Structure 1
Amino acid sequence: MKWRGGRQSSNVEDRSGRSAGSGGKIMAGGGIGTIVIAVLFFLFSGGDLNSVTDILGGGQAANYQTENVASDEYTEEKEFSAVVFGHLEDYWNGVFEAEQTTYQDPKLVLFTGSVQSACGNATSQVGPFYCPADQNVYLDLSFATELSQKYGASGDFAMTYVIAHEVGHHVQNELGITQQLDKIRQQVSEKEYNQYSVRLELQADYLAGTFAKYLQGKTYNGQPILEAGDIEEAITAANAIGDDTLQKEYQGYVVPDSFTHGTSKQRVEWFNRGFKYGDLEHGDTFNEKNLDLVYGS
């Protein structure tokens, strides 16, 4: 992905090097569908422990808000994330404008180690998450390394997929989907709600796919933004964090009723479907009868 020199979002807050402090809820366990290793099921989730998401171009410089910023160890990661966030702002503002609907940009909070959010305290073990209470996407700057080394998903577009997925949760919040599922959660069992959670996450994967489709048609300095292998990097990331793959790796067997994010196959298929259609119309995961037979339909 060509990103160097691209417009960096001004909606970025750099909290790297700042302690999250004490008090509040710790986002390191519990929640919907938690099995053996809770952290695995927070990866790419919304991360709000009290809501539905508690499962899991112009060279402009970013106007970072800083608090005890650490060294420049993660300078490249910060710039990259700000550029991706800038593209996401352009994309989703355009989509909502076309629908004659207002859209409120989220904020990207970059941190290292731990962070305080309106959804509680979180450590780097939680992974990237979206908090509906403050409408922020939280990203630990070391996660790209973990994604590559621990899950075998390397490349800048693997991280683009991660960020786009979390912004997808913000879009769901803007559309009122999150709020509707919050109400459903009060009425059904944990096992039943897990099925809704899967559909929520797969829809965020679909939305990430539509963003990839948008980038496919964009250029920077006359060159396509997407490069050979970018989509494959996103697919590798989606495949690596399916519930079945993670459960097999960490406990040796799968418990389908406990799935909260979808299988590897489902996550790849819904991302691919978003990339194929590039619209909102084909992303209704909640009314799709067969989540496994999607791509190509």
Structure 2
Amino acid sequence: MRKVSFAEYGGPDVLRCADAEEPHAGPGQVRVAVRAAGVNPVDWRIREGQFRATRPLALPAGVGIDAAGVVDEVGEGVEGVEAGDRVFGEGLSTYAEFAVLTAWARMPEGLTFEEAAGYPSVVETALRVLREVGVRAGQTLLVSGASGGVGSSVLQIARDRGVTVIGTGSAANQEYLRGLGALATTYGEGWVERVRRLGEVDAALDLAGSGVIRELVALTGDPRRVISIADLTAPEFGVHFSGTAGSVPDALAEAADLIARGRLHIPVEKAYPLAEAAAAHIDSRAGHTRGRRVLIV
């Protein structure tokens, strides 16, 4: 099978798409013939070696967490799914023709493989940070870096829960954010005052890691009301860095329900062939994403 991997930490040029041995489903796992794989910032952060001190890898290593595909192997102890089922979920080395999933759900009707591959980890992250920040119906949440996959999910899930959301993004993404129900404003000089004019902020999420933790704390008045998923310096300001996944199966089940009810939709901004994983990483790292980037397998 074809698989994307890297033999050393570094830039996108270390990625190689080459023949590799097929993986097989172990106990509690399923193997899928991958149709599409989600591209996440954590993928290139791992490739760059940003987590090597805490999560060292045995190199060469595969890339990718999210995938959508067709089940073709069912591991011991797995029930409720069989070969031929269309699923989306999280697993190991998903930038490949075959991948093992450790958590999955059936794809909602009407969802393409490309769309489905964009949901798993971003929805889990969105649900997790909303839980951790503790925002409630009637309150206002500020989302810094709101137009990407996690931000798109947060805006829609928060709206579904009766939370008012202020989202910051590029000038080009203002209408996109408003279309998701957010009060939108641009980042850059004067952004704090622009946010204040939109309303009082009860809680805030840093999804972009753009060095705004101090300002988010000032806007909320309490570092405990701020969560970051992208700025490793957040704890220096008393802010929690959320980097550990919660229950992925529960998150996938909730995602499937939200999608089926028409309450959650994340567009695919761009799809790339598997061999162009490096280009997908370059674009992802550049930011300004509107929705999701995926690889077509």
- TM-score w.r.t. structure 2 length? 0.29
| Structure index of larger Rg | 2
- Which structure carries more helix by proportion? 1
- TM-score w.r.t. structure 1 length? 0.29
